[in-house]
Structures are given as C-alpha cells and as structure tokens.
Amino acid sequence: MSDTVIKCESVYKIFGENAKKMLQEANGNVDAKTFQENGCIVGVNNASFEVAKGEMLVVMGLSGSGKSTLLRCISRLTDATGGKIFIEGQDLLELNNKELIDLRRNKMGMVFQSFALLPHKTVVENIAFPLQIKGINTDDSISKAMDMVKLVGLHGRENYFPRELSGGQQQRVGIARSLAVEPDIWFLDEPFSALDPLIRKEMQDEFLRLQDKLQKTIMFITHDFDEALKLADRIAIMKDGIIEQLDTPAKIVLNPATEYVRKFTEEVPREKVLLIEDVMDQTTSNNLGDLRVSKDEIIENVAEKILTQEKTVGVIDKNNNIVGSINPTKIINTVFGGRKNEN
C-alpha cells in the first residue's frame, strides 16, 4: 500500500499487575486462559495491520472482544503492553507527553459512543473546545466552530446545551467537535450504537456523505456487522482480542476465514454486499447478449435486469472494456443457493 497512516505491529494490551512481565515470558504466544488464571485479562492479542491514507477500516466485534481497547491503544488513551504502533511513520509509544498532545491537537479526532459532550458548554462551545485548547482565540474558534455546526446540519441550535438535544443531534455535535481541528486521522468508537435504528441509518448516510467530502483516514468501531458492511473499505473482525479476519466486505462474505466469522456472514443478504466483479466469470464468451453491466455495481441493483436476460451478460469496466461475463444462473446461485452449498 502506498501511504500507510496507521501501522500496528503485533500490538498487545494486557490488563493486570504483572502484565508486562508475563507478556515477555509468554514469548509472543499469549493464551488468554493462562493469563486469566494469573489475574491478567487479555484485551488485545497480537494485532498487526495497516491503514492507508483515506481508507476506512471498520473494526467489528461483540462486546468484550477488545475492539475499543485496540482503538484506545492506537489513540494512546491507554498504553499498549507490547508491540509497536506507527502513526505516519512516527513511533507512537516513543512520543513524550508534549509530542503526544501535539499529535492529538493537530492530527487526531475521536467520536465516542456516549457522545462525551461537556455538559456545561453549548453546542458551539463544545465544538470550539479543541480549538481553544490549541490556543486559538475566541473569535476565530467560534467562527470555525460555526462552520462545523453548518457542516453537520445543526444550524440554529448552536446555543443549545447538550441536554437539550436528541441523541442523534448530540452525536452530530460529537462528530463536529472531532472534526473541528481538521484531523487527518479520525477515530469513531461505536458512534451510532446508542441511537435509534432510523436515526442510525440517517447518521450512517450522513457519515458517508462527510467521508466522501473529507477523505479522512478512519478507524471505525462497531458491533453491528451490517453497519460494518455498509461503511467499510476493509473490515477487521475481532474475537477475544484476536483479529480473526481482516479483508474487504466482499471477501469476508465470500470466504469467511473462521467458523466465528462465518456465523456473521450467514444472515447477510449477499446481493446487497457483493459487487458484480466479485461473482463474475473472468472468462468472456463470444455468446454475450446485448446488456452490459458495470463491474462496480452492487448485485441488487442490476439483478432484475440480468435475470430477464436469456443470454450471458457482459461485464465492463470504466472504459467500457469487457472484463468478464455473468449469467442469470450465477445470480440466482449467489442470492439463494450459496448458503446451502456451505452447509
């Protein structure tokens, strides 16, 4: 990958008194059970991955899987017990306090599950807070914060207190606050989990719109697999502190690496996740019909068209070159048949 922004090399986070010593003795072979017997709890177990510039990595896992802990290691809200973390090539764990504060003030933004707004500040004051902490004067920080208020669609409510807003609105404030310093790296810790389903969907769309515009490097934590599929460039699925699989949504759905991951993928409506590219035949036959579909289309959007065809349909790339083919049977198999085959 070209521009790596976040890079983790076998990161461990172990809670407990003798964590460091035990980790050294374990010699990279950490077993959660033996640690637990000795009074240590393994939060993150040997996590290694990279996040490229402008990429959105969604870390997905159930509660207690260590996903939030992993995020806190990378933002250094907690110190990792072992391993190395690089932010734009800088060794995060080597930074002193001042450098760390500097990094957070200029490069990082974070959104929290429970919003974590300051109760004594109004919407605009909350958003201006990181700017003021940085030392920007009141007028500039407030006017910058007002831009943010507009960006997240809270115009007219800038003088409200957090307690006067709905959950969705509060999280918009949280998002605006995390973006106020124009960070390159954006951490989101289950930002939509505390919201109603309808609001959640609305916020997800809003989030995609923002990301389309801003192109940040993102680590997004969620326990909702559908949310992960909807948003992610790549998904990391965590269980008991271990990253079980890290791949694109399509590959995870098509080739779940472990039994645990497969359970998640079972119920997923494939036609909504997979692209034509993921299921097409690489070979092109001469016997193509007249219809052409783009390889980047989601199956659901073109399924009807393909199914009405009798002949195999040609798949094209952006430059209208034929790169593959797909026939209606393949579509039917993908949507209805796939699960049976796996069983």
Taking the complex as a whole, how short is the minimal distance between the CB of residue 77 and another protein, in angstroms? 5
Subset of residues 142 to 171 that bind another protein, contact rule: CB under 8 A: 142, 158-159
Single out the segment in contact with another protein by CB under 8 A; choices: 174-182, 198-206, 232-240, 250-258.
174-182
* Binding of another protein by 15 (CB under 8 A): no
Secondary structure class of 273 (helix, strand, coil)? helix
216 lies in the binding site for another protein (CB under 8 A)? no
Position 192 contacts another protein (CB under 8 A): no
Closest approach of another protein to the CB of residue 325, in Å? 50
Q: Is 63 in the site for another protein (CB under 8 A)?
A: no
19 touches another protein (CB under 8 A): no
Q: Comparing C-alpha atoms, which of 234, 232, 226, 116 is closest to residue 175?
A: 116
C-alpha span between 50 and 34 (Å, rounded): 29
- 207: helix, strand or coil: helix
Among 90, 114, 255, 329, binds another protein (CB under 8 A): 114
Identify the residue among 29, 37, 119, 213 touching another protein (CB under 8 A).
Answer: 119
- Pure H helices in the chain: 19-26, 32-37, 67-74, 97-106, 123-134, 138-151, 167-179, 197-214, 225-231, 249-254, 259-266, 270-273, 276-279, 299-307, 328-332, 338-342
Closest approach of another protein to the CB of residue 67, in Å: 15
215 Cβ contact partners less than 8 Å away, ≥ 6 residues apart: 54
| List 41, 77, 199, 254, residue binding another protein (CB under 8 A) | 77
d(CA 124, CA 72) in angstroms, rounded, equals: 26
- Does residue number 298 form part of the binding site for another protein (CB under 8 A)? no
- The region that residue 85 occupies, defined by phi over 0 for left and psi between -120 and 50 for alpha, beta otherwise, is beta
Residue type, 172: R
- Give contact residues for another protein (rule: CB under 8 A): 72, 75, 77, 97, 101-102, 104-106, 108-110, 112-122, 124-125, 129-130, 133-134, 138, 142, 158-159, 174, 177-178, 181, 187
